[in-house]
Amino acid sequence: MENVVTWAGQAGVAAESGQVSPKRTALGYYPVSWKHPFSERDRPLDYDVCVIGGAGHVGLPLSVAFAAKGKRVIIYDTNEDALATISSGRMPFMEASCEGVLQNTIQKTLFTSGDPTSISGAKFVVVIVGTPVDEHLNPMHEQLWRFFNEIGAHLRDGQIVILRSTVYPGTTSNIRRRLKKKLPGIEVCFACERILEGKAMEELYKLPQIIAGEDSQAVAEVTELFRNLTAEIIVTGCIEAELTKLFNNSWRYIQFATANQFYMISEMYGANFYEIYSAMTHNYPRAANFPRPGFAAGPCLFKDTMQLNAFASNNFHIGSSAMLINEGLPNFLVNRLKLSHDLNEMTVGILGMAFKGESDDPRESLSYKLRKILLTEANEVLCSDEYIRDERFVPAEELIRRSDVVMIAAPHKTYKSLDYSGKILVDVWNHVGSAGGGVKPV
Ligand SMILES: NC(=O)c1ccc[n+]([C@@H]2O[C@H](COP(=O)([O-])OP(=O)(O)OC[C@H]3O[C@@H](n4cnc5c(N)ncnc54)[C@H](O)[C@@H]3O)[C@@H](O)[C@H]2O)c1
């Protein structure tokens, strides 16, 4: 890496010489000034795109996709292990069809860096770091502001920052205003990511890209960039784009909640939900997209619905209800089991700890909530997953052999063909088909 002094270095040297005293705030030390004494901001633009958070679940496929289109891309990320894995041409997580493209591009048009000075070497700076909600389900604005304070010393006039993280409405304008106070020539746009984790390399090229920004020239430049990936670009206002993303995810979360609520109602009255599901959806176009019940959580749907609820002054009632229903499904399943079985005397096995089938992503997975509930209710709890490596887990066959009750929490494909005979099987997904359903011709 070239010899460039970062803000941290600058502060250290300056503090020693007594020239600058970094400001102490509730959130830590902030730069007093983003004016850089050396030439980081005068360096040539070596890259087209810097993806901050580019080693993550959505940042990496995007980086790979741009690199495959001939853009020079630098991934900047703080996760050194993931960077090392990527540099060696391997994926740090499952993402269909991504590894081959990664291998074709790494060290050619795709580069990695753990050094924030790399940010100043790109025309477009894509930001795709996590945007969680806090323990009270509120958006964490300060975390994002702190992030921009940290990278601020490496931004420069003429760059276009592209927010790709899912953000609280108003964030694009807010960040733009804050950055422009220090760098009047910088621009900020929003270009939300709407891929399905695991299908990124397909959907990045298929889905329309929504782009928003307050400066029409910057929007035009970002549009041109994304035309490398997809033909269809939709330009909207900033708040409209931010809300589009939150509405998309909340709508999906509500649909899952509806299916889960119908499942619970059916179960409570001894009705076979899957017979109803088949009758509802078979050759009936208006219910064609009705989802099946199952654990609905993961890194996006829950927190995005809660962001929208916070934005709606906690009056997004249908979103709050969806959260209660989806989060309540593990409790419902355990309570139903308790009605007919003495769990205190039983071993319960959980198959699938990822937040969804055919994924190795455990983030915000309801399987862990299920485990937590069962730890207080059952004699013993065993866990297994096809894709997540965890020394506490046991192989699926062993889990079935040792368990009295087997619960399918994430429907990985291999679980379809296992032998569950002699076991109490809880399969909300009807993954192995034991609940019947299907339309019986008369
Ligand atoms: N996962 C999805 O399917 C999905 C889909 C659409 C949108 N999103 C949104 O994309 C954003 C990122 O989600 P994700 O699932 O990729 O998260 P992730 O945790 O997989 O990736 C975030 C990456 O950012 C890095 N990072 C964090 N702080 C950093 C910093 N200060 N400097 C440099 N790198 C830093 C992390 O090391 C990590 O590699 C979120 O806003 C999420 O809501 C996610």
> Which tens digits make up the pLDDT trace of 342-361?
999 999 999 999 999 999 99
- pLDDT range class, residue 440, cuts 50, 70, 90: low
CA of 166 to the centre of ligand 1 (A): 9
How confident is the model over 114-125, as pLDDT tens digits? 999 999 999 999
Q: Which residue has the tokens 């109490």?
A: 424
Split at pLDDT 50, 70, 90, the class of 436 is confident
Q: Which of 220, 404, 370 is nearest to 294 (CA)?
A: 370
Of 215, 240, 265, which residue is a domain's last?
Answer: 240
Torsion of CA 226, 228, 231, 236, to 10 degrees: 10
Look at residue 121 and tell me if it is in a domain: yes
Q: Report whether pLDDT(165) > 80.
A: yes
Which atom of ligand 1 is found nearest the CA of 164? 10
Q: What is the pLDDT of residues 190-243, one digit of tens each?
A: 999 999 999 999 999 999 999 999 999 999 999 999 999 999 999 999 999 999
The per-residue b/e assignment along 41-55, b for 16 or more CB within 10 angstroms, e otherwise, is: beeeeebbbbbbbbb
Task: Let me know whether 27 and 163 are in one domain.
Answer: yes
Contact 371, 383 (CB under 8 A): yes
Residue 119 Cα to ligand 1 midpoint, Å, equals 17
Structure tokens at 175: 């960040």
- C-alpha 148/C-alpha 155 separation (Å) is 9
Among 240, 274, 308, where does a domain finish? Answer: 240
Mean pLDDT value of segment 322-343:
97
Q: Which of 296, 300, 103, 125 is nearest to 196 (CA)?
A: 300
Going by alpha carbons, the residue nearest to atom 3 of ligand 1 is: 197
Q: Which of 188, 207, 240 is the last residue of a domain?
A: 240
Is the model's pLDDT at 88 over the cut of 90? yes
pLDDT confidence of 14, banded at 50, 70, 90? very low
3-state SS class at 406: strand
Query: If you take atom 7 of ligand 1, which residue's CA is the nearest one?
Result: 193
pLDDT at 98: 98
**Overall average pLDDT of the 296-306 stretch:** 97
Q: Which atom of ligand 1 is nearest to the CA of 194?
A: 6
Residues with CB under 6 A from ligand 1: 52-53, 55-59, 76-79, 82, 128-131, 147, 165-166, 193, 195, 197, 299-300
Whether residue 262 sits in one domain with residue 236:
no
Same domain, 223 and 267: no
CATH value at residue 411: 3.40.50.720
| Integer Rg of the chain from CA | 25
Query: What is the number of other CB atoms lying within 10 angstroms of the CB of residue 367?
Result: 24
Both 288 and 395 in one domain: the answer is yes
Return the closest-CA partner of residue 75 out of 90, 88, 64, 89: 64
**Is 119 inside any structural domain?**
yes
Residues 205 and 264 grouped into a single domain: no
- 175: Cβ contacts below 8 Å, ≥ 6 apart: 144, 148, 161, 163, 188
Is residue 88 in a domain? yes
* Residue 287 located in a structural domain: yes
- Residue 35: what pLDDT? 55
Do 200 and 306 reside in the same domain of the chain? Answer: no
Q: Does residue 103 lie in a domain region?
A: yes
State the pairing for strand pair 23-25/28-30.
Answer: antiparallel
Helix (H, G, I), strand (E, B) or coil at 187: strand
Closest listed residue to residue 96, CA positions, set 192, 204, 193: 204
Average pLDDT over residues 81-98: 98
Residue 28 lies in a domain: yes
Q: Same domain for 122 and 215?
A: yes
Q: Quote the pLDDT of residue 129.
A: 97
| Residue to mutate, 64, 75, 77, ligand 1, most ligand atoms under 8 Å from C-beta | 77
Report the pLDDT value the prediction gives residue 42, as an integer from 0 to 100: 73
Report the pLDDT value the prediction gives residue 55, as an integer from 0 to 100.
98
> Which residue minimizes the CA distance to atom 39 of ligand 1?
56
pLDDT of residue 41 exceeding 90, the answer is: no
User: What is the Å distance from ligand 1's center to 299 Cα?
Assistant: 9
Pocket test for ligand 1, best of 119, 193, 246, 355 (most atoms within 8 A of CB): 193
Q: Are residues 73 and 216 in the same domain?
A: yes
pLDDT of residue 44: 79
Please state the atom number of ligand 1 nearest to the C-alpha of residue 131: 41
Give the span between the Cα atoms of 347 and 41, in whole angstroms: 61
Instruction: Say how many Å lie between the CA of residue 417 and the centre of ligand 1.
Output: 34
One domain, residues 216 and 304: no
Let me know if residue 432 belongs to a domain. Answer: no
Could you tell me the distance, in angstroms and rounded to a whole number, from the CA of residue 160 to the centre of ligand 1? Answer: 19
Note whether residue 52 is domain-resident: yes
- If you measure from the C-alpha of residue 248 to the centroid of ligand 1, how many angstroms do you get, rounded to a whole number? 18
In angstroms, the CA 231 to CA 206 distance is 8
Question: Measured from the CA of 197, which atom of ligand 1 is nearest?
Answer: 3
| Residues 192 and 88 both lie in one domain | yes
The ligand 1 atom at the shortest distance from the C-alpha of residue 165 is 41
* Together in a domain, 57 and 195: yes
What pLDDT, on a 0 to 100 scale, did the predictor assign at position 39? 58
Where residue 37 falls among pLDDT bands split at 50, 70, 90?
Answer: very low
State residue 20's pLDDT score: 38
Residues 47 and 191 in one domain: yes
| Residue 30: per-residue pLDDT | 39
List the one residue out of 218, 363, 246 whose CA is nearest residue 312: 246
Percentage of the chain exceeding pLDDT 70: 90
The answer to whether the beta carbons of residues 374 and 350 sit under 8 Å apart is: yes
Average pLDDT, the chain: 91
Taking the centre of ligand 1 as the mean of its atom positions, its distance from the CA of residue 165, in whole angstroms, is: 7
Domain tally for the chain? Answer: 2
Give pLDDT, residue 345: 97
Q: Which domain does 328 fall in, by range?
A: 254-426
β-sheet bridge partners, residue 122 = 47
Q: Which atom of ligand 1 is nearest to the CA of 304?
A: 43
Predicted local confidence at residue 13, as pLDDT: 33
